[in-house]
Amino acid sequence: MHTSARWSALLLAPAVLLVAICFVVPIGSIVLRSFTEPELGLATYERLFADPTTLRVLGRTLLVALGAVGLCLLFGYPYAYLMTLVGPDMRAVLMVLVLVPFWTSLMARTFAWVSLLQRDGPVSALLAFAGVPGVTLLGTAAGVMIGMVQILLPYMVLTLSTTLSRIDRGLLTAAQSLGANRYRTFFQVYLPLSLPGVFAGSALVFILALGFYITPQLLGSPRESLIAQVIGVRVERLVDFAGAGGLSLIVLLTTALCLAAAVLAFRPVRAMLGQGGDRR
């Protein structure tokens, strides 16, 4: 037992060392500067939270990230559910369609959305045809959210499909044989069983959305900046490493709170599904 534990620790050591060198050290150094510059203390954070612009940017970032989660769930859940209903060949086709975006440059996809969302682009023409003329999504938070959803949707689908594919469809048949209609079976049997995937996919998409930089930079505008853009401006233009470190720590703490909330929300789900102990 002790030998196995030592081998596990030995195999884990390179990964831990890599994370420490590439993540902990650089992030720790910039966060440390937020407490030591211009002087030792919390002056940087007092300045950040006293600035209404910073609070607006943080609030906008959270809203856009939550909106991206909601839209990814709205489109991703039916798609992942469809993957469980079709045969192996069609499922492979649907999986390839999910994976294709990973084979394309994020920059190229974002530039494609620039042409789609611009004033004379196809999206504006479609909205004008639908009776909503003069709407330009490029340079708005809505346009940024559309671009983010297109990039983050595969993460939601892959997470959900893993969970949904493991649900025993015999449980649905049993529920229907006991008199439950199709809607009641879905909402009282299938949906609760899929909640682990919903929580995992939502947490993953939300965390990734918090740190988006290229997509808001190309599809948004300075008036609709998100937190990553503000950090970039403080580093590149203002040379304010203390402020950038403070904002980075705020993003890290928000991510940690998101993970903690997902874990706490998942506990009652595990209890409801009877997954807390040995199910054999």
Domain assignment present for 202:
yes
**Structural domain contains residue 204:** yes
Per-residue pLDDT of 184-242, as tens digits, reads 888 888 888 888 888 889 988 998 998 888 888 888 888 888 888 888 888 888 878 88
C-alpha to C-alpha distance for 51 and 239, rounded to whole angstroms? 18
Query: What DSSP assignment string belongs to 181-227?
Result: -HHHHIIIIIHHHHHHHHHHHHHHHHHHHHT--HHHHHHS-GGG--H
Domain annotation covers residue 182: yes
Instruction: Give residue 48's Cα distance to chain centre.
Output: 25
| 236-273 confidence digits (pLDDT tens) | 888 788 888 888 888 888 888 877 877 777 666 666 55
User: pTM for the complete prediction?
Assistant: 0.82
pLDDT at 278 over 70: no
Domain membership flag for residue 260:
yes
Does residue 13 lie in a domain region?
no
Q: Is residue 101 part of a domain?
A: yes
Query: Rounded to whole angstroms, how far apart are CA atoms 262 and 256?
Result: 10
Residue 10 lies inside a defined structural domain of this protein: no
pLDDT single digits (tens) 150-174: 999 999 999 999 888 888 888 888 8
* Domain annotation covers residue 26: no
Q: What domain range is 123 assigned to?
A: 53-273
Task: Return the structure tokens found at 168.
Answer: 């025993």
Q: What is the CATH number of the domain that holds 92?
A: 1.10.3720.10
How many independent structural domains does the chain possess? 1
Question: Looking at this protein, which amino acid is placed at residue 1?
Answer: M
